[in-house]
Structure formats: structure tokens, C-alpha cells
């Protein structure tokens, strides 16, 4: 595709970059004679931290104004609140926006806490070792935070690491085939209490077949949870229909809520719709999971809300909530994940095509020592989100290429020692930007050629 064709594609698939604050050469502190300081960067790093929607700043300032104007009274009296919820219920208007993003009923989602702490809280209540079924199946290259959660979970229950079963990407493969996961589930079905995978693998960009894996494990009486950090806002999800038991995600990646902002959980309705003080699975609980009518009576009786909200422990950060609310409204105004996914698939396919045309492209099954890069992500568009992960060879090359891209204000994500992750995000990236990223990548590789 030529640059002109890119421009045609960009007319066909609109980009909403104007709605976001995009860093510039100047704001990034990159000095060069080649570009004017106000030239925008090319930001391909939404897999790590999404850009800030411009509407977030005024929304946050309104809450600071409410705090300064009325202090504690804003919990119940918040007349100029644009989302029509006083602080005591500030997160509730998020539910109808969050539910479609993950394919859930409104009663199955909650905005709360942070990813790892939510994952820990859900693991503690859903991991129910019984008889021989005491082990957890997950992947060998899991995100470290998730690994720490699993190890410490089994230790909390008095077991050791032998209770963790990890599946590894086979030698000379770059990702994990679904069939391997199903085989492992079947082989260990008598000893597994829990299966927990990422929706999209952070390092390789592989999108797992959530539906197939979930059904397969559940047919074998195993609880199934998902870490959706890289999947939420990136690919369409149908957690309710797929009968996922629980899931957790952060919202600062593809949901653009801001660094460390409030995360989210899914708990299938079958676990909460009969919630009553007597019929209630023990969990990490707090006053915000309690019936709102009773909450401020300060009683010593816990009357859980009959929804995923019963997993909330604390009152949420209002600043976080309005930030996520603002970005979710933008996401829906631009058609939601289903619409954006169409552009996303086209754009990532285009990125892949451009990479495959590079003289430095190395095939996935070529294992000879070589100069260039290999794509680790599945080539099939149904097995990935927007991200492609590039492994640079030989060692030491990735840092140089990363530096070259950065000099040109191309913001990507490096995973030492050798991987760069490129994430063209449909909300704020364009086909033309893909064209430039690959052009600069080729220039860099040419420059550092031995």
C-alpha cells in the first residue's frame, strides 16, 4: 500500500486523534532539526498506557471544584455533576457502559480497585481446592504480577509450588496453540481446581480462544478465570454467554482511563443473584459491597448486593471514576469495541503486510541466526488484538532500533532484551502512521546492519 492508499483507508476508517492529547517532539523533550517542536508523535503504545482523552481534564477539574465547594456534602449533594451521580454512587453510571465492553449483564460488572488486587480478591473466593482437585493451570510466561498472585494463593492455602501447573510455548514456536491448552486441561482434569489465562498474552499479543478454553474446562468441573488486561477495549468479548466464572482487567491500557486508574471485574450472575446473608460465598468483603440502604447504618451484619458490586470493598476514587467514565463515553460515541475492531483488524493486517515486505523480516519458522526481526504474534487475525510483537536478532539490536524510533518520536514499548511491541490503536492511530512506523523501522535496521 502506498502512502496515498493509506490516506484513502484513513478516510474510510475515521481516526479520532483530535479527541486525545497527543505528545509532541517538544513535550517529549526530543530535540531535532528535522521536525518542528509541535509535530505530534506517533503513539503505538496504547497496550501499555492509553492516551488521555481531552475531556478528562475538565471532568476531573469539576470534581476538584465540587470537593472545594462542598467538601463531604458532595457525597450526597452534587448538583453540577455531569454524570448525574453524587459521589456515593459515582461509579454506578459506569455499569451500562462497561457491561457491553466485556459482553456482560450490568449486574455482572463492577468498577473497583486495581487489577492485581482484584485478581487476588477473586482468586481467594473462587479457588476452592477439594479432594484431589487442588491445582491451578496457567501459562509459563505469565505476567509476573499474575504469577506472584498464583504462587502466593496456593501458599495461603498451605500448599507449595507443586500446585501450579504451567504450560510452556514449545521450542521453535512463538505462541501457545489452543490444542495444547485443551490437552493440558484434559491431562490434569482430576487435579485442577482452577484455570486462569490472560485474554491476550501481554508479550506475544496472542488472543486466546476464551470461549473454547472456558467451555472445555467447565465441562471438567474446573473454575475458569481470565485476566483481560490486554483484551478489554481491544477485542469484542462475550463473558456472560461464554459462561466465564470471573475476570479482572485494568482500564489504563486500551480503555484510556489514566495511569493506575480504577480497574474492573466480572463475576457471572449465577454467583451473585441469590446473594443473601445465608447463601453467600465467603470473600474479601467491605462496606461498599453491602446493600446501599443499610450501608450507613453501620450494622454488624453484611447484606451483600445481589450483583458483582458485592465484591467492592471500599468507596471508589472519584477522580479515577470520572476519568474512566469520560473515556468510556468516548469509546461508545465512536461506535464501541465492535465497530473499532473492524478498523483494528484492517490496520494490524496492514502493519503485518508492511513488515512482511521488509528485507529484514524473518519467518516465524526460520530459526537460523539472522539479522532482522521475527513476528511473535499469531499471523491469523482471529488470534490477536491490535498488537504485534517483534523479536529482534541478534541480541542488542532491539535497543538500537528502539532508540532510532524514539528519535523520530515514535513511541513504542520495549521488552528487554529483544522485543518491541507495536500497538496501532483504532481510536487514535492511522494507516498513514503505520506506514511511517515501518518506514522508520526499516531505516533503523538498515543503519545498524553489520
Ligand X SMILES: *Cc1c(COP(=O)(O)O)cnc(C)c1O
Specify binding-site residues for pyridoxal 5'-phosphate: 115-116, 143-146, 227, 230, 252, 287, 315
Q: Which is nearer to ligand X, 17 or 117 (CB)?
A: 117
According to DSSP H, which parts of 249-288 are helical? none
Annotated binding-site positions: 115-116, 143-146, 227, 230, 252, 287, 315
Residues 59 and 325: beta-carbon distance below 8 Å: yes
317 binds ligand X (CB under 6 A): no
Q: Any bridge partners for residue 304, and if so which?
A: 290
Among 212, 213, 264, 211, which residue's Cα sits nearest to residue 239?
A: 211
| Residues recorded for the chain | 450
Per CB under 6 A, which region of 30-38, 78-86, 124-132, 138-146 contacts ligand X? 138-146
DSSP of 175-186: S--HHHHHHHHH
| DSSP-assigned letter for residue 213 | H
- State in angstroms the smallest separation of the CB of 142 from ligand X: 7
115 binds ligand X (CB under 6 A): yes
196 binds ligand X (CB under 6 A): no
From candidates 42, 122, 210, 250, binder to ligand X by CB under 6 A: 250
d(CA 112, CA 71): 22
The size of the interface with ligand X (CB under 6 A), counted in residues, is 12
Ramachandran category for residue 264: left, alpha or beta (phi over 0 → left; psi -120 to 50 → alpha) = beta
Q: Which is nearer to ligand X, 63 or 227 (CB)?
A: 227
Per CB under 6 A, which region of 61-69, 81-89, 110-118, 271-279 contacts ligand X? 110-118
d(CA 315, CA 359): 55
Alpha carbon separation from 92 to 256, 266, 341 (Å, rounded): 19, 15, 26
Q: Which is nearer to ligand X, 144 or 403 (CB)?
A: 144
- State in angstroms the smallest separation of the CB of 158 from ligand X: 25
Q: Which is nearer to ligand X, 20 or 202 (CB)?
A: 202
Among 316, 302, 341, which residue's Cα sits nearest to residue 264?
A: 316
- State in angstroms the smallest separation of the CB of 248 from ligand X: 9
- State in angstroms the smallest separation of the CB of 301 from ligand X: 32
Using CB under 6 A as the criterion, which residues of the chain lie in contact with ligand X when the complex forms? 114-116, 143, 145-146, 198, 202, 227, 229-230, 250
Amino acid at each position: 500500500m502506498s502512502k496515498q492508499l493509506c490516506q484513502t483507508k484513513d478516510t474510510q476508517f475515521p481516526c479520532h486523534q483530535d479527541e486525545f492529547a497527543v505528545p509532541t517532539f517538544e513535550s517529549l523533550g526530543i530535540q531535532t532539526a528535522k521536525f518542528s517542536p509541535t509535530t505530534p508523535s506517533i503513539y503505538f503504545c496504547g497496550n501499555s498506557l492509553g492516551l488521555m482523552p481531552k475531556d478528562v481534564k475538565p471532568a476531573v477539574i469539576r470534581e476538584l471544584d465540587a470537593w472545594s465547594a462542598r467538601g463531604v456534602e458532595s457525597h450526597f449533594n452534587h448538583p453540577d455533576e455531569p454524570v448525574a451521580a453524587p459521589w456515593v454512587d459515582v461509579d454506578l453510571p459506569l455499569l451500562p457502559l462497561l457491561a457491553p465492553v466485556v459482553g456482560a449483564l450490568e449486574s455482572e460488572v463492577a468498577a473497583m480497585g486495581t487489577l492485581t488486587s482484584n485478581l487476588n480478591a477473586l482468586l481467594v473466593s473462587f479457588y476452592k481446592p477439594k479432594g484431589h482437585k487442588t491445582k491451578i493451570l496457567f501459562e509459563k510466561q505469565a505476567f509476573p504480577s499474575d504469577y506472584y498472585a498464583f504462587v502466593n494463593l496456593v501458599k495461603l492455602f498451605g500448599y507449595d509450588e507443586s500446585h501450579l501447573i504451567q504450560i510452556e510455548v514449545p521450542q521453535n514456536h512463538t505462541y501457545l496453540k489452543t490444542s495444547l491448552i485443551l490437552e493440558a486441561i484434559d491431562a490434569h482434569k482430576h487435579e485442577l481446581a482452577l484455570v486462569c489465562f490472560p485474554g491476550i498474552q501481554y508479550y506475544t499479543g496472542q488472543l486466546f480462544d476464551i470461549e473454547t478454553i472456558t467451555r472445555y474446562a467447565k465441562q471438567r468441573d474446573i473454575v475458569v478465570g481470565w485476566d483481560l488486561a490486554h483484551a478489554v477495549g481491544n477485542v469484542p468479548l462475550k463473558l456472560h454467554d461464554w459462561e466465564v466464572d470471573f475476570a479482572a482487567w485494568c482500564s489504563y491500557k486500551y480503555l484510556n482511563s489514566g495511569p493506575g486508574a480504577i480497574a474492573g471485574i466480572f463475576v457471572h450472575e449465577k454467583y451473585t443473584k441469590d446473594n443473601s446473608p445465608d447463601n453467600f460465598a465467603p470473600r474479601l468483603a467491605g462496606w461498599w459491597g453491602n446493600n446501599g440502604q443499610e450501608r450507613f447504618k453501620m450494622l454488624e451484619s453484611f447484606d451483600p448486593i445481589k450483583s458483582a458490586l458485592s465484591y467492592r470493598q471500599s468507596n471508589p476514587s472519584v477522580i479515577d471514576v470520572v476519568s474512566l467514565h469520560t473515556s468510556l463515553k468516548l469509546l461508545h460515541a465512536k461506535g464501541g469495541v465492535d465497530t473499532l475492531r473492524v478498523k483494528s483488524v484492517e490496520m494490524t493486517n496492514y502493519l503485518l503486510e508492511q513488515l512482511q515486505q521488509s528485507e529484514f523480516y524473518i519467518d516465524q519458522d526460520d530459526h537460523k541466526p539472522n539479522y532482522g526481526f521475527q513476528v511473535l504474534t499469531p499471523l491469523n487475525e482471529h488470534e490477536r488484538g491490535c498488537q504485534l510483537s517483534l523479536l529482534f536478532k541478534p541480541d542488542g539490536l532491539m535497543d538500537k532500533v528502539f532508540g532510532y524510533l524514539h528519535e523520530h518520536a515514535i513511541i513504542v514499548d520495549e521488552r528487554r532484551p529483544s522485543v518491541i511491541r507495536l500497538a496501532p490503536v483504532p481510536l487514535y492511530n492511522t494507516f498513514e502512521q503505520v506506514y511511517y512506523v515501518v518506514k522508520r523501522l526499516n531505516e533503523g535496521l538498515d543503519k545498524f546492519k553489520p
